[in-house]
Structure 1
Amino acid sequence: MFYWRDYPKPHRYESVADHTWRLVLLLILFEKKLSRKIDLDRAVKIAMVHDIPEIIAGDAPPIGSDGTGRDSHAFNKDVAKVRHKEEDKAAKEIFSKLPNKLGKELYDCWLELEEQKTYEAKVVKSLDRLECAIQILEYRKGGLMVFLGV
């Protein structure tokens, strides 16, 4: 079994900006393929702000301490609750620095993703995971074209 830490080091790691751009691109690519209509503008806003709390809270890798993810926010509900509280505090701090209406709108977009109650939030979360999987394949095999079979 391969764990994230076992992959060869790439010549350049993906930045949060790279990840977010690719997530938005996936939304655009999948928009017409989804089983029902999506509010693309709303989904793009959710995607654009989804990792902003990591500016303060940091990026928590889903692999955990032993490489399996068992003790990470991705697979452990107790750890996920703690992580959510950290990110919520960070989101409130960051978005409160913006003009009131905009700060509230962007915080609400972030919270919508966290709560997973809307179709747009569920699609963004699914494509966020897909983008991460594509990134793993790129690190492992050397390119998106390999993933796409091109």
Structure 2
Amino acid sequence: MARRLRSVDLDFVRTAPLRLVFAAEASAAPTVVYRALAEEVDGWPSWFTAVTAARSTGAGAGREIRLKGGTVFHETIVAKEPGERYAYRVDETNAPALQALLEEWRLAPTATGTRVQWTFAADGPAAFRYVLRLGRPALGRAFRDAVRNLDKRLAAASA
């Protein structure tokens, strides 16, 4: 059963009770990485293995994301800055205990490609936040694997 979450704005990425921040390098340029994140939403399952389905909604103003295990997120895009930042908040989900969630992807050029930084900003009961902190290493691995997979996909597409 889907539940409505608390609506948060972009500042939540700095003020959330739980902030998990991860970074990885991609060899593609920031504009190319951004396009895969923000404009090719339906391609997410091909590189982010936790995602089983992804589609844009509301003429690109939102997304519907389905994860392994059956979790569903209905999201609103809150920042689209080509080559720099892509962020969205979850408005509805069937995930228990989650009260608010905003994810931000920041991109920065490097000498060899792009530094990709992902911030997972969440709120929920103390026990929920504790469990997420315990899961930080697994979430970090999933993110790094996703960036590695995306980088391979982008390299193959440009070859």
Larger Rg: 1
The interval holding the TM-score normalised by the smaller chain is 0.3 to 0.5
Q: Which structure has greater helix proportion?
A: 1
Q: Which structure has greater strand proportion?
A: 2
